[in-house]
């Protein structure tokens, strides 16, 4: 296998190497799209499992809507179509002939979902209505990069309808809080909660809220967005309800989503010169057992202990596996699992069996003395989960310190002209945040309306 590109001198090259070598993705014959391999997909499945529960706590139910949307639907909301037109793929032929009305492949599903909402919503009793969809979407991408920008990607999109603007806004804020909690406490990536400036707002939204992360190369990565859609879509799709006072009213909406892009953030946030580092809460394999032996007798006793431990930890819901590939040396296995970012390696040799102990090796410790620990089997039931917790916490702490160091925060007067001056060096206002430490605009020096985070984007 090719040596990993040096993370310090060529971060994009390192990223490109790691996604292929750790077998997260493969390049696909379909230009701009990625093939997600089983190890990468297992990460997505863990993300889905955790987020799906949280989405249901917010009161949304899962449903599924068609991939193909009548082109006229997209045109109903003027800002929406203008925003998405350049990246929409259109199906003009099917069934062996030219279609009377073309279909667009969904770049997002507001239009088709709202057309259904207009049939489902009649009275205040039907509100709030909260629907979530796990799906793929297509947005034509000229400069694809696996996970970060691909023509087709996977995501969830929540769509909710409410009787009042306040309630819809609260929903968008609650969804942002859910994402922040998930990204920080599971992916171990610190984020800033903020609001997008008008120029960066979702096409058709009154307000776009977001969480933004600062990556080790100083670039900003949008990890999730939530939108207050207010009346734009409900009016275009003629959604109305009879309120308690008997009058007909137009409801208010929110939509929110996160995508496989989060996996790109995960890779960049924690990886090092030896490969990926996955936070335990999201890692497909949390601990890998490497049996070490030289003869058949040792093999028997070592494997017996390995299997006993595998059973024990599976019962404790720890994702554990044994690498008993006999064609590979222990050294090659260490390298293989280190590259894949497995948080803990458990080494078991005949001497360890004799002493009733194992060797635990942490993927995150750089300090040699702290990296390895000898733990007796009786202590392991506590020591292993403790070590997973420590790794999870340490990853977030390290990322936090780095992110604060790289962060560019400044004041902004609110004018689009000042915002546009950043474009020269390809930077943007990532979001407006709540703190107000800066009194003047970074560009014109007039009074600032809010602190903003400024960074290059991917």
* Footprint of Zn ion (CB under 5 A): 413, 418, 441, 443-444
End-to-end CA distance of the chain: 28
Q: Which lies closer to Zn ion via its Cβ, residue 274 or residue 443?
A: 443
The nearest distance, CB 449 to Zn ion, in angstroms, is: 9
Q: Which lies closer to Zn ion via its Cβ, residue 43 or residue 455?
A: 455
Q: Output the CA torsion sign for 50, 53, 58, 62.
A: positive
Q: Which lies closer to Zn ion via its Cβ, residue 118 or residue 410?
A: 410
Q: Which lies closer to Zn ion via its Cβ, residue 148 or residue 452?
A: 452
The nearest distance, CB 443 to Zn ion, in angstroms, is: 4
β-pairing, 25-27 with 90-94?
unpaired
Q: Which lies closer to Zn ion via its Cβ, residue 179 or residue 412?
A: 412
The nearest distance, CB 411 to Zn ion, in angstroms, is: 8
Q: Which lies closer to Zn ion via its Cβ, residue 363 or residue 430?
A: 430
Residues 6+ apart with CB under 8 A from 320: 285, 286, 287, 288, 289, 309, 310, 313, 314
Dihedral, 228, 232, 238, 243 alpha carbons, nearest 10: 50
Beta bridge partners, 230, equal 253
The nearest distance, CB 427 to Zn ion, in angstroms, is: 15
Question: Is residue 59 left, alpha or beta, with left meaning phi > 0 and alpha meaning psi from -120 to 50?
Answer: left
Q: Which lies closer to Zn ion via its Cβ, residue 250 or residue 420?
A: 420
Q: Which lies closer to Zn ion via its Cβ, residue 321 or residue 418?
A: 418
Nearest Cα to 458, choosing from 211, 210, 144?
Answer: 144
The nearest distance, CB 414 to Zn ion, in angstroms, is: 7
Residues 6+ apart with CB under 8 A from 316: 381, 385
The nearest distance, CB 415 to Zn ion, in angstroms, is: 5
Q: Output the CA torsion sign for 11, 16, 19, 23.
A: negative
What single DSSP character describes residue 293? -
Q: Which lies closer to Zn ion via its Cβ, residue 268 or residue 452?
A: 452
Q: Which lies closer to Zn ion via its Cβ, residue 328 or residue 427?
A: 427
The nearest distance, CB 151 to Zn ion, in angstroms, is: 36
The nearest distance, CB 407 to Zn ion, in angstroms, is: 20
Residues 6+ apart with CB under 8 A from 436: 448, 450, 451
The nearest distance, CB 225 to Zn ion, in angstroms, is: 25
The nearest distance, CB 218 to Zn ion, in angstroms, is: 23
What single DSSP character describes residue 402? H
Check: CB of residue 403 under 8 Å from CB of residue 375: no
What gap in Å lies between CA 204 and CA 226, rounded to an integer? Answer: 12
Nearest Cα to 267, choosing from 10, 49, 22?
Answer: 22
β-pairing, 287-291 with 344-348?
parallel
List, in sequence order, every beta strand (DSSP E) within 151-251. 152-162, 192-195, 207-214, 220-230, 241-242, 248-249
């Amino acid at each position: 296998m090719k040596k990993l590109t040096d993370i310090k001198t060529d971060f994009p090259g390192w990223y490109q190497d790691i996604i292929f070598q750790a077998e997260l993705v493969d390049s696909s014959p379909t230009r701009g799209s990625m093939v997600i391999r089983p190890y990468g997909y297992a990460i997505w499945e863990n993300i889905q499992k955790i987020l799906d529960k949280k989405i249901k706590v917010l009161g949304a139910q899962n449903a599924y809507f068609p991939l193909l949307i009548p082109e006229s639907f997209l045109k109903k909301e003027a800002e929406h179509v203008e925003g998405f037109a350049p990246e929409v793929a259109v199906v003009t032929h099917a069934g062996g002939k030219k279609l009377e009305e073309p279909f667009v492949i969904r770049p997002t599903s507001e239009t088709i979902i709202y057309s259904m909402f207009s049939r489902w919503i009649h009275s205040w009793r039907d509100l709030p209505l909260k629907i979530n969809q796990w799906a793929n979407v297509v947005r034509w991408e000229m400069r694809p990069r696996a996970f970060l920008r691909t023509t087709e990607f996977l995501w969830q999109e929540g769509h909710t309808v409410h009787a009042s603007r306040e309630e819809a806004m609260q929903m968008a804020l609650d969804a942002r809080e859910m994402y922040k909690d998930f990204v920080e406490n599971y992916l171990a990536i610190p984020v800033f909660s903020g609001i997008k400036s008008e120029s960066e707002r979702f096409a058709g939204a009154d307000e776009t809220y977001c969480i933004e992360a600062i990556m080790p190369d100083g670039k900003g990565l949008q990890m999730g967005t939530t939108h207050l859609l207010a009346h734009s879509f409900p009016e275009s799709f003629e959604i109305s309800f009879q309120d308690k006072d008997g009058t007909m009213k137009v409801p208010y909406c929110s939509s929110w989503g996160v995508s496989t892009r989060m996996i790109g953030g995960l890779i960049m946030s924690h990886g090092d010169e030896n490969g990926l580092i996955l936070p335990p809460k999201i890692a497909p394999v949390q601990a890998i057992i490497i049996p070490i032996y030289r003869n058949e007798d040792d093999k028997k006793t070592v494997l017996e202990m390995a299997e006993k431990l595998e059973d024990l930890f599976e019962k404790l819901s720890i994702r554990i596996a044994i690498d008993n590939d006999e064609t590979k040396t222990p050294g090659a296995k260490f390298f293989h699992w280190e590259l894949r970012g497995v948080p803990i390696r458990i080494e078991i040799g005949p001497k360890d069996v004799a002493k009733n102990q194992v060797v635990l090796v942490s993927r995150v410790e750089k300090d040699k003395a702290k990296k390895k620990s000898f733990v007796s089997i009786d202590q392991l039931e506590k020591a292993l989960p403790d070590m997973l917790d420590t790794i999870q916490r340490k990853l977030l702490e390290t990322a936090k310190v780095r992110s604060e160091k790289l962060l560019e925060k400044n004041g902004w007067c609110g004018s689009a002209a000042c915002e546009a001056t950043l474009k020269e060096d390809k930077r943007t206002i990532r979001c407006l945040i709540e703190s107000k430490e800066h009194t003047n605009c970074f560009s014109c020096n007039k009074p600032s309306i809010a602190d903003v985070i400024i960074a290059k984007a991917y």
